[in-house]
Amino acid sequence: EVLPVAALHGAGIAYIAERVEALLPDSPPYFEEDALTDRPARFFVSEIIREKVFLYYQKEVPYATEVVVQEFKEEEELIRISANIYVERESQKGILIGHKGAAIKKLGTMARQDIERFFEKKVFLQLFVKVEKEWRSSDRMLRNFGYKLD
């Protein structure tokens, strides 16, 4: 079946949507009706922290970082989160932490604010910077961080 469309003007779009819906088979839902994603909360926390690393640190450091949420405890009025930021070299650790911890404090504040908006709840966030030499070249470490190598 050929369906003419003028996407620029929106002509034929409604008809295509109707045809696609009519051709799709019925199936049971794969997720609960109120589920927005299949990803766990820890995933979003680590991605928010990684985003802040990319925004706050300009040079090569962001590309050598990996964030792992160690603890995620949701209480009635507060979420307690502890996360490790892994880098490959001591010099990168120093850059992330900054003079007297100023850089990591700013990073933590920016990440915490976004995490609070995301979960609509107060957050206590602890960040730790750890050196794992050449982690990007280690199949074992990449697997530990959840990367699929196959």
| Span 109-129, pLDDT tens digits | 999 999 999 999 999 999 999
Between CA 53 and CA 106 the distance in angstroms is: 10
Between CA 135 and CA 24 the distance in angstroms is: 44
Ranges of each domain in the chain: 41-144
Q: What is the mean pLDDT of each run of 10 residues along the chain (150 residues)?
A: 86 90 87 75 92 84 86 94 94 92 95 95 96 85 81
Percent of the chain residues past pLDDT 70, beyond the cut: 97
At residue 93, the pLDDT reads: 92
Q: What is the CATH number of domain 41-144?
A: 3.30.300.20
The phi and psi torsions of 26 (rounded to 5 degrees) equal -70, 145
